Amino acid sequence: MTEPTHMAPKLRVLLTAEQIQTRIRELAAQIDADYPEGTLLLVCILKGACFFLSDLARALKRDVRLDFMGISSYGMGKSTSGEVKVTKDLDATVEGSDVLIVEDIVDSGVTLNYLMHLLKQRRPRSVHIAALLDKPQRRRRPVHVSYVGFQIPDQFVVGYGLDDAERYRNLPDICVVEEE
Ligand code: PRP
């Protein structure tokens, strides 16, 4: 019998599903307290942030709208190519809205640096970033992340939306891929 993916031997759990959910509830409480009355537009960056968006949105007590943006700079590789590509634009206008970009991870900062410039040109009332994971050691471009779930060391992680060549996104935990 083939071993299920979740039991793959080269994965080590870094953050459990429970730790992730606890931290998301804390972030949601902080976001609810920080924003004035009104609707918050959550912009999910596909594909990796889909689970974070889903859990964060449900933990927030305020009114939210959801929109999705496809933006890719990695292809099938493990590190950024440095070239950012918008693969799917937002459906709605962001002009005059409070926008919160929801990302799974900030690594080099190339993606979010680009995205912040792009969205600011569209005249939102405000635009901030919530990122579940941050690898500050890897930064090549400056990015201000208002809400960080966890700072993690410079290790390749998968699960809870994060992939290795499209694999492992559905793991409930965040795991380090150990070198064989
Ligand atoms: C990952 C991640 C961020 C970006 C972060 O996306 O979801 O968007 O890389 O890296 P950076 O800070 O070095 O720019 P990826 O391009 O792998 O797409 P995916 O979310 O569809 O897997």
Q: How far apart are CA 19 and CA 46, in angstroms?
A: 23
Residues 18-74: pLDDT tens digits?
Answer: 999 999 999 999 999 999 889 999 999 999 999 999 999 999 999 999 999 999 776
Which pLDDT band, with edges at 50, 70 and 90, does 179 fall under? confident
User: Measured over all CA atoms, what is the biggest interatomic distance in the chain, rounded to whole angstroms?
Assistant: 56
Q: How far apart are CA 56 and CA 100, in angstroms?
A: 11
Expressed in angstroms and rounded, the spacing between residue 72 Cα and the centre of ligand 1 is: 6
- Kindly list the structural domains of the chain, giving each domain's residue range(s) and its CATH number in brackets, ordered by start: 17-154 (3.40.50.2020)
* Residue scoring higher pLDDT (81 or 53): 53
Residues 84-115: pLDDT tens digits?
Answer: 889 999 999 999 999 999 999 999 999 999 99
Query: CB of 59 within 8 A of CB of 28?
Result: yes
- Sole residue written with tokens 């959801």: 66
Q: So what's the pLDDT on residue 66?
A: 98
Q: So what's the pLDDT on residue 4?
A: 56
Q: So what's the pLDDT on residue 72?
A: 78
Q: How far apart are CA 140 and CA 115, in angstroms?
A: 15
pLDDT at 7 over 60: no
The radius of gyration computed from the CA coordinates of the chain, to the nearest angstrom, equals 16
Ligand 1 is surrounded, with C-beta below 6 A, by 45-48, 72-74, 80, 103-111, 163
- Sole residue written with tokens 């700072």: 151
Q: How far apart are CA 2 and CA 56, in angstroms?
A: 34
Report the atom number in ligand 1 closest to the C-alpha of 104: 7
